[in-house]
Every structure is written in structure tokens, then in C-alpha cells.
Amino acid sequence: MPLNSSVLAAHRHRIYDFSLRFLRCREDAADVTQEVLVRFWQRGEHVEAQARLGWVMRVTRNACLDHIRRKKTRNGYTSATEFIEDFEGDEPSPERLSESADFRTRLEDAIAQLDEPYQSLIILRELHELTYDELAVSLDLPPASVKVYLHRARRRLRSALQQILTAEELTP
């Protein structure tokens, strides 16, 4: 018996948000979200309710990574970062241009520049507020290592921000 549609609906915003932050392209995020929702519908019933969020975010992250790999192969990119830079260079949205000085935009840029699994850790912990156990399932990490990885992720992000922000911008 497939999942109830309300379970599917309840997770859709998380799936889309993560995909959008990871891929930084609405069209690609929509494709990945649709793909994950179908997979969730078909296989989610076999996952225990309390492990469902971690599972679905793992499926989403893997789908995003696959999407980047496919696109890299198709377009000849050599790294995910290069793909992101190229995408941003081609289509700078009006919002991004007008908000280029905004702290939040620069923070999101800094998050996007983090390597994996640090980028996913920051998105899932700081924005989606997943628990350590859910993070371990999402990122396929040993539960005992999650805190260590998260510590490194935050430190890398702070270091990146310190390099790109001026002293004025660091003052709330």
C-alpha cells in the first residue's frame, strides 16, 4: 500500500528547498523534487515513520548529486563548483543582482561554496533543523561522527564568511 498523499505533501517543501539550495536552479530543483516525490511514494512505505525524514533527505541529496553528475557529463563540466559558477555566470537573476550586498545572499553563496558533506550538513541542520540522528541517516554518516563533521562545517563556513565580509558587515 503506497504512502498517504498527505505524507508526500508534508515533505515536499523540504525536498524542494534542499534541492534549490544545492542545485541553485529552480528548474533543476523542480525536476529533482518530482523525481524524489515519485520515489518516496513508491518506496517510502517500507521506511519506519520516525526514520522517514532522514531517509527522504538522503534520497534528495543523492538525487541532487546524480543530477549534477548527469549535467556535468552532458555539458563537460569538471566539478560541481564549476557547474554552479557557470550557471550563475549565465543567468544572474534580477533578485541576485539587486541583493548582491545583502548578508543573507552572501551567506548562501558561502554555503554553496562548501564541499560535501559540509554543505548538506549546514543546510539540513541550520535551515531544516534535523536532529543528529536524522543527519546521520541523511548523510550516511556514523551517528558519533555527525557532531564532528558539523563542527568542521560551521568552522569552514565562518572562515569563508570572515574572508568575504567586511568588518562593517560582521556587525549585526
Partner 1 sequence: MKAPLSTVDCHEVMDRFDSYLDGDLDAQTAARFEHHLHSCSDCAAEHAVAERMNQALGGTALEPCPDDVFVRAVAAVTTSENGQADRPPLAGKRLPGIFRWKALALAATVLVMFGLGSLPFLLNRADDEFSAEEIAQARMEVEFALGLVSNAGRETGVFLRNDILNDEVVQPIQRTISPIP
Interface residues toward partner 1, by CB under 8 A: 2, 5-6, 8-9, 12-17, 20-21, 30, 33-34, 37-38, 41-42, 103-104, 107, 126-128, 147, 150-151, 154-155, 157-158, 161-162, 165, 169-172
Looking at beta carbons only, is 5 or 50 nearer to partner 1?
Answer: 5
Categorise residue 141: left if φ over 0, alpha if ψ from -120 to 50, beta otherwise. Answer: beta
- Separation between Cα atoms, residue 140 and residue 160, nearest integer Å: 25
- For 146-169, give one letter per residue: b (16+ CB within 10 A) or e: beebbeebeebbeebbeeeeeeee
118 within 8 A of 149, measured Cβ to Cβ: yes
Shortest distance, CB of residue 86 to partner 1, whole angstroms? Answer: 22
Shortest distance, CB of residue 52 to partner 1, whole angstroms? Answer: 17
At 170 the three-state DSSP class reads coil
Looking at beta carbons only, is 43 or 72 nearer to partner 1?
Answer: 43
* CA neighbor of 86 nearest in space, from 98, 71, 100: 71
Shortest distance, CB of residue 109 to partner 1, whole angstroms? Answer: 12
- Separation between Cα atoms, residue 2 and residue 16, nearest integer Å: 21
Shortest distance, CB of residue 44 to partner 1, whole angstroms? Answer: 11
Looking at beta carbons only, is 61 or 77 nearer to partner 1?
Answer: 61
Shortest distance, CB of residue 149 to partner 1, whole angstroms? Answer: 11
Looking at beta carbons only, is 9 or 51 nearer to partner 1?
Answer: 9
* CA neighbor of 24 nearest in space, from 109, 124, 101: 109
Looking at beta carbons only, is 1 or 49 nearer to partner 1?
Answer: 1
